[in-house]
Amino acid sequence: MYEIRFHGRGGQGGRMAAEAYALAAFLEGNYAVSFPFFGAERRGAPVRAFTRVDDKKIRIKTQVYQPDYVVVLDETLIETEDVLEGLKENGMVIINTAKKPEEVRLSKPVRCATVDATSIALEILGRPITNTAILGAIAKATGKVSIESIEKAIIEKFGARLGKEAGEKNAKAARVAYEQTLVGVAQGGKAFIPRKKWLPDVNEMPIGGAIGTMQTEAGLVGIGSFIENKTGDWRTFMPIIDKEKCIGCKLCWFYCPEGCISMQDGKADVNYDYCKGCGICANECPVKAIEMKREVRA
Amino acid sequence: MIQKLPAKKMVITGDYAAAYGALLCDVDVVAAYPITPQTLIVEEFSNFVNDGITDAEFIMVESEHSAMSACIAAQAAGARTYTATASQGLALMHEMLFIASALRLPIVMPVVNRTVAAPIGIWCEHNDSMPQRDTGWIQMSCEDNQEVLDMIIMAYKIGEHKDVLLPVMPCLDAFILSHTVEPVDAPSSDEVAEFIGKYKPHAVLDPDNPMAIGTFTPPEYIQELRYQTHVAMEKAKNVIKEVTKEFASKFGRDYHGLIEEYRCDDAEVVLITVGTVTGTAREVVDDLRQKGKKVGLIKLRFYRPFPAEEIRKIAENVDAIGVYDRAISYGSGGPLFIETRHALYGLDVPVLNFLAGLGGRDVVTGDVEKMYEILLKAKEKKPEKEIYWIGTRGVSI
């Protein structure tokens, strides 16, 4: 049996990728299971999905803690968390990035495959949805399933949802990614400060879960804790407002699900500490004054 | 706030006793939705409000689900709340019951035990309250109208205790108590106020001090909250014993905690009863004792928390135990029977189940005599079966 852990962001299709991979493995006569872990996520939140493949029925029902492969759909995730956590020795990480494997820095030097799935998706699908392109990269990097099975699985799974043409386009994205995937070794040495989590025991847990604002060793929790828990690093695309074009209609302010648009001197202004980059504002703007630009992080 | 009410003796229905008990406890908010045979409780309370005896907020809601929702919200805002229901109404409330207990809100709600349809019946059966077993409510049954009034008072004191903070459901049998008048001693409002004290909530919804309760909570936290509630229910056992003792010393009526033993001292066989059948069974025990039979009775007051230790202690010294149930868990047995056998695991004593009075059928002395007859036989010879449907046409016992 081998196990894969997918790291993505809510809305990027990590779950669909994990499921389509399971289907591809199944089409080759394997037994495969795939499942997401759902939290309170919304679009942009770090999320995980898992796939297990074996030649016999898989009975274990736990999440995957020691994966053979780690797949990262969103490059920004490798900056904020150690995606290698629990990765088996000789394991491999497959990352959506424009960098070469040797240019990627992680906590340890590990076998690494890279592909610029975002550019491939933008070019072929016209949208930065990378969950099909990345499947081609997995096929190339692992050699565990053929690209033909990946294509078949994508057409079956995505075609059923999005129509035949879209299914075939997505299969093409996987094929192009397959051809462009580079395999090498990533650099190690990147330090991560493990994020502390508030885990009170039964005596510390507020009765009935009733909670005001609490200062804990993991920082603020409860009411008002978002003063510390900024969500700007969830963003992969950032809204840029053209103040010249903005007519101050407030539609973006009205539709922003995070309430992070305010009006300054009659023009829309984004609070980038909290903006998750969902793009709803750009979609709603009647004068197209908001452009979603790919996030560039140091 | 309520007007000062003197201690007095009244001849009242069980429903009136339940309403008057809530009045004496100076409840702040009452949510009301009618259902036979509970309707009289909230109707009587509405009279108290109308007559200016209390300034409690009386909220008429559109369903029992809303009644419990209103109580939850008011209690979370720091109010002492009250509602009442029965049968289908309790079933409709089911999902809100979990919320009341998990948020640790000591709401008090009498349930007038009425059969749950189908077919439609208005008479006594315990198949409404017993399925609420796992909702985290303290659940107990009353034997007479005096106990109904006294139990409402004790319910607030038990539920609001800092070690407990759980809602309480005192149950009374439909019509047999709810619509039956009998003499009841009511204490004065001053005495009750002194006895139960002020409600001190563990958390209060207050716009000036924002607080979140019952919010989206991931798996990292819920298991600890479940454990807390379980521990609170366990701790309620001692609190119930203390409160009944304190009640006895203050008001002179002793309910003996979780169970009451009746003539169990040298008993060879013992019957566990619940609700009003207890009173009838006391008569039968006295009669059989006079005839030289060593029989005893356990009046089971609390179903949750379940008095496993107390029952086990008695069971260790008897030759057979019977459990009376007015509800059936299809495919298994009576709920109290299942619970009792679990409590007696490992003891070598026959445990038999007697089902009678379902759908409100009268349980007469002859029925109870039959139960003791079977138990006395079981003492001599291992019984062939465990579950006996007393007085069921076409079913042999």
* Residues B264 and B161 both lie in one domain: no
CATH assignment of the domain containing B217: 3.40.50.970
* Residues B180 and B302 both lie in one domain: no
- pLDDT tens per residue across span B129-183: 999 999 999 999 999 999 999 999 999 999 999 999 999 999 999 999 999 999 9
- Residue of B209, B220, B227 lying closest to A199 (CB–CB): B220
pLDDT at A298 over 60: no
For residue B26, tell me if it sits in a domain: yes
For residue A257, tell me if it sits in a domain: yes
pLDDT of residue B397: 85
- pLDDT tens per residue across span B327-372: 999 999 999 999 999 999 999 999 999 999 999 999 999 999 999 9
pLDDT of residue A76: 87
CATH assignment of the domain containing A282: 3.30.70.20
For residue B397, tell me if it sits in a domain: no
Residues recorded for chain A:
298
For residue A207, tell me if it sits in a domain: no
* Residues A53 and A180 both lie in one domain: yes
For residue A213, tell me if it sits in a domain: no
Residue A75: which domain range? 2-185
- Which residues of chain A does B208 touch, with a Cβ-Cβ cutoff of 8 Å? none
CA–centroid distance for B322 within its chain: 20
**pLDDT-based confidence at A194, cuts 50/70/90?**
confident
B102, B229 in Cβ contact below 8 A? yes
Task: Phi first, then psi: give them for residue B203, nearest 5 degrees.
Answer: -160, 145
* Number of domains chain B contains: 2
Please answer yes or no on whether B225 and A213 come within 8 Å at the CB atom: no
- Residue of A39, A201, A211 lying closest to B211 (CB–CB): A211
* Residues B204 and B349 both lie in one domain: no
pLDDT at A46 over 90: no
pLDDT of residue A148: 98
For residue A216, tell me if it sits in a domain: no
* Residues B146 and B186 both lie in one domain: yes
Please answer yes or no on whether A210 and B228 come within 8 Å at the CB atom: no
- A278's tokens: 């969902």
State how far the alpha carbon of B50 is from the alpha carbons of B10, B45, B58, B74, B323, in Å: 21, 9, 10, 21, 44
- Which residues of chain B does A45 touch, with a Cβ-Cβ cutoff of 8 Å? none
Which of B206, B223, B251 lies at the terminal end of a domain, its last residue?
B251
pLDDT at A144 over 90: yes
CA A40 to chain B, closest CA, distance in angstroms equals: 8
Closest by Cα among A152, A192, A207 to B163: A207
Work out the mean pLDDT of chain B and round it to a whole number.
97
* Residues B186 and B167 both lie in one domain: yes
State mean pLDDT over A82-87: 96
Which of A129, A163, A185 lies at the terminal end of a domain, its last residue?
A185
For residue B95, tell me if it sits in a domain: yes
More confident residue, B396 or B304: B304
Please answer yes or no on whether A208 and B224 come within 8 Å at the CB atom: no
- Residue in A with minimal Cα distance to B222: A209
- How far is Cα B19 from Cα B24, in angstroms, rounded to an integer? 9
**pLDDT-based confidence at A297, cuts 50/70/90?**
low
For residue A212, tell me if it sits in a domain: no
- This prediction has a pTM of 0.91
Please answer yes or no on whether A223 and B210 come within 8 Å at the CB atom: yes
**pLDDT-based confidence at B76, cuts 50/70/90?**
very high
Closest by Cα among B145, B70, B59 to B100: B70
* Residues B129 and B199 both lie in one domain: yes
- Residue of B202, B212, B216 lying closest to A223 (CB–CB): B212
pLDDT of residue B225: 97
More confident residue, A270 or A76: A270
- B153's tokens: 């008072």
* Residues B202 and B275 both lie in one domain: no
State mean pLDDT over B297-316: 98
For residue A126, tell me if it sits in a domain: yes
CATH assignment of the domain containing A104: 3.40.920.10
- A221's tokens: 């929790």
Cis peptide before B119 (omega within 30 of 0): yes
Please answer yes or no on whether A211 and B217 come within 8 Å at the CB atom: no
* Residues B105 and B64 both lie in one domain: yes
CATH assignment of the domain containing B308: 3.40.50.920
State mean pLDDT over A27-41: 89
pLDDT of residue A228: 87
- Residue of B165, B217, B221 lying closest to A207 (CB–CB): B165
pLDDT at A195 over 90: no
* Residues B182 and B317 both lie in one domain: no
| Bridge-based pairing state of the strands B302-304 and B259-262 | unpaired
* Residues B217 and B275 both lie in one domain: no
pLDDT of residue A40: 67
For residue B91, tell me if it sits in a domain: yes
- How far is Cα B54 from Cα B225, in angstroms, rounded to an integer? 36
State mean pLDDT over B315-321: 97
pLDDT of residue A128: 85
pLDDT of residue A233: 84
B301, B150 in Cβ contact below 8 A? no
- How far is Cα A20 from Cα A14, in angstroms, rounded to an integer? 10
For a pLDDT cut of 70, what percent of chain A falls above it? 99
pLDDT of residue B328: 98
Residue B339: which domain range? 259-389
- pLDDT tens per residue across span A152-169: 999 999 888 889 999 999
- How far is Cα B168 from Cα B166, in angstroms, rounded to an integer? 7
Chain B residues at the A interface, defined by Cβ less than 8 Å, are 102-105, 165, 202-203, 209-218, 220-221, 224-225, 227-228, 231
Which of B222, B251, B280 lies at the terminal end of a domain, its last residue?
B251
* Residues B139 and B278 both lie in one domain: no
For residue B321, tell me if it sits in a domain: yes
For residue A280, tell me if it sits in a domain: yes
pLDDT of residue A127: 87
- How far is Cα B218 from Cα B227, in angstroms, rounded to an integer? 15
* Residues B36 and B155 both lie in one domain: yes
For residue B383, tell me if it sits in a domain: yes
Please answer yes or no on whether B220 and A197 come within 8 Å at the CB atom: yes
- Residue of A39, A211, A213 lying closest to B218 (CB–CB): A39
pLDDT at A42 over 80: no
| In the block, residue with structure tokens 């201690």 | B7
- pLDDT tens per residue across span A196-246: 889 999 999 999 999 999 999 889 998 888 888 888 888 888 999 999 999
- pLDDT tens per residue across span B89-129: 999 999 999 999 999 999 999 999 999 999 999 999 999 99
pLDDT of residue B106: 98
- Which residues of chain B does A224 touch, with a Cβ-Cβ cutoff of 8 Å? 210
For residue B3, tell me if it sits in a domain: no
A182, A114 in Cβ contact below 8 A? yes
Q: What is the 3-state secondary structure (H, E, C) of chain B?
A: CECCCCCEEEEECHHHHHHHHHHHCCCCEEEECCCCCCHHHHHHHHHHHHCCCECCEEEECCCHHHHHHHHHHHHHCCCCEECCECHHHHHHHHHHHHHHHHCCCCCECCEEECCCCCCCCCCCCCCCCHHHHHHCCEEEECCCHHHHHHHHHHHHHHHCCCCCCCCEEEEEECCCCCCCCEEEEECCHHHHHHHHCCCCCCCCCECCECCECCCCCCHHHHHHHHHHHHHHHHHHHHHHHHHHHHHHHHHCCCCCCCEEEECCCCCCEEEEECCCHHHHHHHHHHHHHHCCCCEEEEEECEEECCCHHHHHHHHCCCCEEEEEECCCCCCCCCHHHHHHHHHCCCCCCCEEEEECCHHHCCCCHHHHHHHHHHHHHHHHCCCCCCEEECCCCCCCC
pLDDT of residue A235: 87
Work out the mean pLDDT of chain A and round it to a whole number.
93
pLDDT of residue B16: 98
Please answer yes or no on whether A212 and B221 come within 8 Å at the CB atom: no
* Residues A160 and A272 both lie in one domain: no
Is residue A61 helix, strand or coil?
Answer: coil
pLDDT at B228 over 80: yes
* Number of domains chain A contains: 2
For residue B2, tell me if it sits in a domain: no
For chain B, the C-alpha Rg in angstroms (whole number) is 21
- B123's tokens: 């008479």
